[in-house]
Structure 1
Amino acid sequence: MDKVWNIKKEGDINIIKHLSVALNVNMVIANLLAQRGITSYAEAQAFFRPKLSDLHDPFLMKDMDKAVERLERAIDNQEKVLIYGDYDVDGTTSVAMMYQFLRSRLKNLDYYIPDRYSEGYGISKTSILYAAEQKITLVIVLDCGIKAIEKIKMAKDLGIDFIICDHHNPDETIPEAYAVLDPKRLDCPYPYKELSGCGVGFKLLQAFSRKNNIPFTELTELLDLVVVSIASDIVPVSGENRVLAHFGLKKLNSSPSIGLKTIMNYSGLNTEEKSVSDIVFKIGPRLNASGRIEHGKKSVAILTATNEQEALLLGDEINSYNEIRKTLDRDITLEALEMIRRDPEHEGKNATVLYNRDWHKGVVGIVASRLTEHFYRPTVVLTESNGLATGSARSIRDFDLYEAIGACSDLLESYGGHMYAAGLTLKIENIYEFSRRFEEIVTKQITNQQQTESIEADAKIYLSEITPKFYRILKQFAPFGPHNMIPVFISENVLDSGTSRPVGKNMEHLKLDLIEPTSNSSQFSAIAFNHAHHFDSINQGLPFDICYSIAENEFRGKTSLQLYIRDIKTKAY
């Protein structure tokens, strides 16, 4: 099915004209800024030139004064303190950041990552009993805990204080911890709501440092961990996150920690400028792999390593977990595709629910994502764990997966997540009925528009508008991510210059040299992955439309602009 190209609504024309004049940029650049909510020279300056002084006062966050007071008391009395975090990248970077900051201030400091398989997500009873046995008096929780009402009560009864640093949506009742830091609390006046879990932890350290006259430079040393959390957790790269990501990338590129440097070397990121995309596709998956295959504690260990030998040993181990993860991912995806191919009713379905008791729990979420991309429909992938069916679900654009799963809650033991991704657990005997009802609910709720894959484009432009100055300004829109995605453009009626050709191992890609008949501009180099099926039409000299982003391509020491084609629409004559 052809993809639909949706062009974003143009910004207010008066704002666009004002920005164009004030910033001395063309109307296309001014419109990109207006689309991102930027309306003045001052806002544009803050966008293009982030400053650490733009960070909000951490004491605006509900309970921050209590959290700082409790941490000060723990340090003054040299209490036994445990740092607790989720096993994903946001959780492990959060724990590593907090541990690095506190280990020179607390003699009795430890960290704890729950086991994905035996303990599951969030604060576990096992961890609370461990803390009690170790005579821990304060636990700092990062990237989870906002819904752990019963667990926090259990800890309180055992005399253990908790400081919760979370960024997920809370329920109506807040856990009775000593302090609960979460900008999404309804009673929290903090002006920016989209921090990562690591970001909330960073705000605690910022507040503690301000209160105790600790130089901010000590905190900037931790920003490489913060940007890895922001990128990997796919939180909006806007507002305060944009500032943290900007300076985090500077740290990651200039002087990363020993552990992150080791991870980057294994990822093949040795020399080039690292971006949010590099974190998402290369650094993050490796840090996630230890929690998926072995234990998330290994990721914290490498992120807090103090010498290269230790980091190299851990890096080698984590890299081997990543190779296992990739093999499992590939093999299970192939098995899942074969299961779907054998299903005679597959073509008529609006959702996919698969179960195989032998699939590895650590990769079913990845497999669900791949199947969703492949068939473009809500997908649930289940395996067996501890006698129950458990797994992950992924959704398509604008379809509320969490709501659809919630409509089947009477069949579930537990579930959680959000609109586009969820986890669920149910009895094995309920799988058939869940599958039937989930399909029924999706069929009733999903629209034709939601079932059509689409690409969001920022604007239509002529190729002749892509000048070195245009791209130089475009680069300054980075770091990219949700709420500030890399700009995507549409150019219509372009032509092949006559030198375009299929490339790739199976000749599945297109290397294009494009011209624009309406202008005297030069050729534009482009690459279109998995679009070789358009070659015959393009080769006939017929005009076609392209949807693309712009990037730099380095070849034999020379750098040039290249269009990265997202989609092609040929025309019938």
Structure 2
Amino acid sequence: MYHSKKTWLDKAVDPLKIDELVAQASVSPNVARLLVQRGLETPAQATAFLEAADMPFHDPFLFQDMEKVVSRIKEAADQGEMILIYGDYDVDGVSSAAILWHALTEIGAMAECYIPNRFTEGYGPNEAAFRWAVEEGFGLIITVDCGISGIKEAAVLKELGVDLIITDHHEAKDVLPDAYAMIHPGVDNNYPFSKLAGAGVAFKVAQALLERVPTELLDLAVLGTIADLVPLVDENRLLATKGIEALNASERPGILALRQVCSLTEDELTEESVGFAFGPRINAAGRLDSAMPALEMLLAETLEEAVVLANQLDQQNKQRQDIVKQIAEEATALVEEKYLEDRVLVVDADNWNPGVVGIVASRLVEKYHRPVIMLCHDVEKGTAKGSGRSIAAFDLFAELTLCEDILPHFGGHPAAAGMTLSSDDVVSLRERLNAQAAKLPDEAFIATIEIDLRLHVSDVSIGLIEEIGRLAPFGMGNPAPRIVIEDAKIRDMKRIGRDLTHLKALLSDGTSELDGIGFGFGDAVDEISLLAEVSLMGSLNINEWNGFRKPQLMIQDLAVADYQLFDYRGGKKPLTDIFELPQEQTTLVAFSDETKQKYAERPLNGSIQENIVFLDLPETEEAFLPYLKQAERIYCAFKDEGYYFEAIPSREDFKHYFNYFAKCPREELRIGLVRLSKTRKWSKRSINFMHSVFSELDFLVTMEDGLPGVNPDAEKRDLTEAATYKRHEERQRLEQQYIYSSLAQLKERFDTLVEAAKQEEMTWSSNSI
């Protein structure tokens, strides 16, 4: 067996609704199923979703304060007031600032951007920055991707006589900042869509200011929309769809520079390009230092300038990866040592980089399926700053709100949040969040994942993948369909990657083949037998290389439902691999005294675990059965005892051997036996075998002189009645079936044994009831 990391759940759908979409929306059954699973059940809903690129943008003036915002900005532009765009240090904040800067400068406003430093200022508005802005002569401050939690800062700015316009999308508290105006889709009930990213909100302000849809800014808007993981539905889907088109056509120096450092110059950009190539590099600046280089790259006027900055971001991203790896190892060790029983993992240390702990928190959520908060202590200030990530059942923002008395500064969403608190309150935060999580059922902490389609290898084609691609772009709220490939055979499997932590597999169902790539699944090479039937969960894409296009499964999880058999016979693999298996999960089985003595220093024949290692062959097959009832992995390390290639002496040999003792003079027995063995070409083992058989049948007995002789009173018996004869025949059969068989034949033999063991278990269970 190989247990999946998560429990796979099939989405329930109404087959009649699928049939309706197939008939009326001109889609395939698979696409219809995917649409219904996403709640798009009518032909009108399906058509609107699939043709999102044709839908119009919502009217930006549906925001209650948009008229007021446009009027105030234009007034500032007309009067020559300096406008400060106050952003955030992630992709959404940086792209939001770039969008608004372009819009303001187009209408003739004098605008500058300010991105706070994560390490010295933290997230969102801060009083020192606002006071600096006033001293510098800025008459209007506009926040992008932040501001909704800046109640105190808004009050300070109002006291100083400077107007504040907040544009944000983060979760709002019960009390809102006292700002001149506010554009927030989650607060303003007049706007028809509440899930815009910060970049989407900035785009709406730009749309209103310019009195048109600013298509030239779509390549920026898509960066924040995808990277900030907002649901890609409604207007976000429109922004993503048109934004990806704009990215591919973009001549913006910053975008071209990113393509260059990401080696995507010839590729068509997709949502994955933003999420896994552009996003991490733009984020890297703010995670390690100031985010201003990222903004400067997006605003660069020449390719040369942008490339220099993009290379800087690329180097910072590599540094970030190394830091994340180190912190992840340290945090995991802390969890395993101190917090493994906690429902909410609040992990803290003095020397962690607060810019990357959110990434590590996400990894720990993936590993433990529990809410995670990673905190970094500032010893001089006596504060702890960090980020949290959560699971679906635990609304992190709402639960943190209940701890607001010890959280002077926090903000975020149900799934993610950032916070600063006194180091003295970390223990209290941990205790309170765990108490709050105690109300959740145990099932909430079991990792599950919903499956969209179950297919076989032969069902997968480029045509199918292109059909599924009609639902793209994929992201939050519209995830890439999760496909399970069932009952696949592994034709080949190997580790790949610089550190050999990834998996490449060739899958087959006997008629077709499919490539599979699994990042982080390199260990499966040692844990999955090539004989196993595997189910693999992941997403499908088309691998294009050297002019060829072929389907490919990006593996996200895998499972083997049946027991697995691993071949270590005859020294094919070093037994050191077996001895490195976890002792608490492994039973080493030795049947013979010789093997028990050889491995006496190891724990042999202990309690039965899921890993069963057979170090030698038993006397009979039945001896296997007790170990096979619950076996998940069986390792065969049988050694050759020589029986298979040692033929049983013929009846003619037995006749000569018996007649020798009957006729040879007593004084010549020893020397005569040597001569006879050379003549008959008997080995010492053959002589011992015949002698044991005759002795067991009482044909030969020890005489008064201490030497063997013929028993005149022996009864007539067949040679095969002797225990030695029977054992030799049985050992020959066992060696043939278990040592000199192919791996496939060995698997068939164990299939029979495992089934017999299970039947024996069922019989025992029914008899005990």
Per-residue Cα deviation, 1:488-521 (whole angstroms, up to 9, x for no partner): 122433334xx2222325765554343446xxx5
Per-residue Cα deviation, 1:246-284 (whole angstroms, up to 9, x for no partner): 111111112241112212322232221122122122211
Name which structure has the greater RCO, CA cutoff 8 Å, separation 6+.
Answer: 1
Partners of 2:285 and 2:178 in 1: CA distance: 32
Structure 2 counterpart of 1:546: 536
* 1:13 shift after superposition: 3.4
Per-residue Cα deviation, 1:130-152 (whole angstroms, up to 9, x for no partner): 22112222222211112323322
Partner amino acid, structure 1, of 2:494: P
Structure 2 counterpart of 1:336: 331
Where does 1:495-534 land on structure 2 (aligned, <5 Å)? 495-496=489-490, 499-504=491-496, 509-516=502-509, 521-529=511-519, 530=521, 533=524
Structure 1 counterpart of 2:304: 309
Partner amino acid, structure 1, of 2:316: Y
Match of 1:390 among 385, 388, 411: 385
* 1:20 shift after superposition: 0.3
Partner amino acid, structure 1, of 2:540: I
* 1:357 shift after superposition: 1.3
Structure 1 counterpart of 2:346: 353
Partner amino acid, structure 2, of 1:495: K
- 1:363 paired with 2:342, answer no
Q: Are residues 35 and 571 of structure 1, via their aligned partners in 2, closer, same or farther at CA, if it must alter by over 3 Å? A: closer
8 A Cα contact 2:465 2:542, kept in partner:
no
Partners of 2:105 and 2:191 in 1: CA distance: 28
* 1:437 shift after superposition: 4.2
Partner amino acid, structure 1, of 2:451: A
Structure 2 counterpart of 1:376: 369
Where does 1:36-185 land on structure 2 (aligned, <5 Å)? 36-51=38-53, 53-106=55-108, 108-185=110-187
Structure 2 counterpart of 1:201: 202
Where does 1:235-246 land on structure 2 (aligned, <5 Å)? 235-246=230-241
8 A Cα contact 1:502 1:532, kept in partner:
no
Partners of 1:111 and 1:129 in 2: CA distance: 15
Structure 2 counterpart of 1:571: 561
Partners of 2:269 and 2:347 in 1: CA distance: 37
* 1:352 shift after superposition: 2.7
Match of 1:265 among 260, 263, 284: 260
8 A Cα contact 2:196 2:230, kept in partner:
yes
Per-residue Cα deviation, 1:417-463 (whole angstroms, up to 9, x for no partner): 33222223332233334434444443x23433222222221133344
* 1:464 shift after superposition: 3.9
Match of 1:287 among 273, 282, 289: 282
Which stretches in structure 2 are left out of the alignment for 5+ residues? 563-750, 752-769
8 A Cα contact 2:91 2:279, kept in partner:
yes
Per-residue Cα deviation, 1:372-418 (whole angstroms, up to 9, x for no partner): 22333322222123321222222234233344444544444443333
Partners of 2:402 and 2:70 in 1: CA distance: 41
Partners of 2:402 and 2:323 in 1: CA distance: 31
* 1:471 shift after superposition: 1.9
- 1:137 match: secondary structure: strand
* 1:548 shift after superposition: 2.7
- 1:466 paired with 2:460, answer yes
Partners of 2:487 and 2:261 in 1: CA distance: 43
8 A Cα contact 1:91 1:143, kept in partner:
yes
Match of 1:454 among 436, 448, 452: 448
Q: Are residues 25 and 468 of structure 1, via their aligned partners in 2, closer, same or farther at CA, if it must alter by over 3 Å? A: farther
Per-residue Cα deviation, 1:300-326 (whole angstroms, up to 9, x for no partner): 111111112221232233233223322
Q: Are residues 503 and 473 of structure 1, via their aligned partners in 2, closer, same or farther at CA, if it must alter by over 3 Å? A: same
Partners of 1:432 and 1:87 in 2: CA distance: 29
Structure 1 counterpart of 2:7: 4
Structure 2 counterpart of 1:421: 416
- 1:393 match: secondary structure: strand
Partner amino acid, structure 2, of 1:473: E
TM-score, normalised to structure 1's length?
0.90
Where does 1:8-23 land on structure 2 (aligned, <5 Å)? 8-10=11-13, 12-23=14-25
- 1:229 match: secondary structure: helix
* 1:59 shift after superposition: 1.2
8 A Cα contact 1:534 1:570, kept in partner:
no
Give the superposed CA RMSD: 2.5
Moved more, 242-251 or 400-409: 400-409
Partners of 1:426 and 1:403 in 2: CA distance: 17
Structure 1 counterpart of 2:627: none
8 A Cα contact 2:256 2:303, kept in partner:
no
Q: Are residues 500 and 283 of structure 1, via their aligned partners in 2, closer, same or farther at CA, if it must alter by over 3 Å? A: same
8 A Cα contact 2:222 2:239, kept in partner:
yes
Structure 1 counterpart of 2:714: none
Q: Are residues 59 and 52 of structure 1, via their aligned partners in 2, closer, same or farther at CA, if it must alter by over 3 Å? A: farther
8 A Cα contact 1:199 1:226, kept in partner:
yes
Q: Are residues 346 and 107 of structure 1, via their aligned partners in 2, closer, same or farther at CA, if it must alter by over 3 Å? A: closer
Partner amino acid, structure 2, of 1:76: D
8 A Cα contact 2:457 2:513, kept in partner:
no
Partners of 1:358 and 1:503 in 2: CA distance: 34
8 A Cα contact 1:224 1:256, kept in partner:
no
Moved more, 369-378 or 248-257: 369-378
TM-score, normalised to structure 2's length?
0.68
Partners of 2:467 and 2:375 in 1: CA distance: 46
Structure 2 counterpart of 1:230: 225
8 A Cα contact 1:510 1:535, kept in partner:
no
Q: Are residues 102 and 384 of structure 1, via their aligned partners in 2, closer, same or farther at CA, if it must alter by over 3 Å? A: same
Q: Are residues 408 and 70 of structure 1, via their aligned partners in 2, closer, same or farther at CA, if it must alter by over 3 Å? A: closer
- 2:551 match: secondary structure: strand
Per-residue Cα deviation, 1:46-96 (whole angstroms, up to 9, x for no partner): 322333652111111111111111122222223221111122111110111
Which stretches in structure 1 are left out of the alignment for 5+ residues? none
Moved more, 13-22 or 100-109: 100-109
Number of aligned residue pairs: 556
Moved more, 452-461 or 280-289: 452-461
8 A Cα contact 2:77 2:108, kept in partner:
yes
8 A Cα contact 2:55 2:238, kept in partner:
no
* 1:486 shift after superposition: 0.6
Partner amino acid, structure 2, of 1:129: R
Partners of 2:410 and 2:106 in 1: CA distance: 40
